Amino acid sequence: MSYDGVEIDMLSLGDADSILVTRWTNNLPTRVLIDGGDISDGEKVVDFLRKRNVRYLDHIVCSHPHDDHAAGLVDVVDCEEIDFGQAWLHQPQNHASFSGLREAMSKTTANKVKRILEESLSSELLLRISLELRQKPFREPFKGMQIGFLTVLGPSLEFYEEQLAQFSDLGKLDELEEALSSYQQRIDREENPFLSSSLGLGSSLFGSSLLGSTGSATESIGLGEAPTEPENETSTVLGFVHGADTFLLTADAGVEALTRVSGGYRLGGLRWMQIPHHGSRRNVNESLINYFKPETAYVSAEGTNKHPRRAVVNAFNRAGTEVFSTHYPNGGHLWFRVGNVPVRPEYGNAVALYNAS
């Protein structure tokens, strides 16, 4: 049989991301690995590639330097059993003064934002060192570039630098810290009815798992209303077309980033998309969901009341989307394919959220 199709593997890593996209052309595969999960996930990703007999990756992409996407890639890059061609990652030192960043970090009282940035800079540095030690080329992915058969839909260079500049602005840091703290307080009140009652506020009571039944819950925070961190907004968003079908990979991009992407490309009526940020309600809104309107959506998540959010899954369901999560019903890697690809007799049919007996 001649292989001429597409495969998407979303690895089961809880609230972390690693996705392998493969396109077959005349029996030859082109493989792109996007992210490698957390530091504890690197060996799991390598083991998955071994078991699938993947010894060469055409491209490796770090969508953004948060640990749950970037840290595990160090193990992949360090593994000499696996060769690869081009790597892609953003390099903030090319776009911002590190002395300015350090000065802002030393003066700010925005401790949560500071911790996030310091961890991200460390992850980016470790990955860059690993690439240099293996003497592999790496470039920054910006809008319009091609990564094999994938097109970089965002961020643009301008948008990336706008987001990065916020970390050198003390006023912006304080605003972001306040917004994140306010969001967390609303979460605490919403999910702790006793705290909410004591404060005289409305509350919602959730079960231990939102995804085991079809019950509903009233959530006071609407989709896309809460802040998205600048680093998530700068996630590399990728798309590709196979035949008449369009596919979208979002990493942790937020509403602003995805709105810009949807304004620059025709992405209505997708065949498949990744739900961003493990199904967080921060990163999408009803308007985007109804525009993308994917037939199928995958999400990498632990299956808690936050990831994926029932409100997010329900919004996709209302748009006619079947949603699948790596945690449901019993946890496992997800495999999507179109066209002719090698068979996998060890894989069974995935079960859409809420549909397990």
Structure tokens of 350? 């995935």
Beta bridge partners of 322: 296
Structure tokens of 272? 């498949």
Task: Say if residue 57 is exposed, middle or buried (CB neighbours under 10 Å; 0-12, 13-18, 19+).
Answer: buried
Structure tokens of 194? 């006793």
Q: What is the CATH number that goes with domain 4-340?
A: 3.60.15.10
C-alpha 161/C-alpha 2 separation (Å) is 45
C-alpha 166/C-alpha 169 separation (Å) is 5
The pTM (predicted TM-score) of the whole model is 0.86
Q: Which residues contact 243 (CB under 8 A, 6 or more apart)?
A: 338, 339
pLDDT score recorded for residue 180: 56
pLDDT score recorded for residue 200: 31
Count of residues in the chain? 357
In order of 116, 175, 187, 283, the CA distances from 229 in angstroms are 9, 11, 17, 10
Q: Among candidates 288, 249, 296, which has minimal Cα distance to 88?
A: 249
Q: Which residues contact 116 (CB under 8 A, 6 or more apart)?
A: 66, 229, 231
pLDDT score recorded for residue 218: 42
Number of H helices, E strands in the chain: 12, 14
What is the full DSSP assignment across 205-231?
A: ---S-TTSSS-----SSPTT-S---HH
* Sheet strand arrangement including 4-10: 138-139, 83-88, 56-61, 28-34, 19-25, 4-10, 334-340
Task: Say if residue 170 is exposed, middle or buried (CB neighbours under 10 Å; 0-12, 13-18, 19+).
Answer: middle
Q: What is the pLDDT along the chain (357 residues), one digit of tens a residue?
A: 799 999 999 999 999 999 999 999 999 999 999 999 999 999 999 999 999 999 999 999 999 999 999 999 999 999 999 999 999 999 988 997 666 666 665 666 666 666 767 777 788 989 999 999 999 999 999 999 999 999 999 999 999 999 988 765 555 556 655 665 665 555 555 554 443 333 333 222 222 233 433 334 445 678 988 878 888 999 999 999 999 999 999 999 999 999 999 988 989 999 999 999 999 999 999 999 999 999 999 999 999 888 999 999 999 999 999 999 999 999 999 999 999 999 999 999 999 998 876
- Amino acid at the residue 356: A
Beta bridge partners of 87: 60, 138
C-alpha 31/C-alpha 62 separation (Å) is 14
Structure tokens of 335? 């495999």
Q: Computed from CA positions of residues 167, 169, 172, 177, in that sequence, does the dihedral angle turn out positive or negative?
A: positive
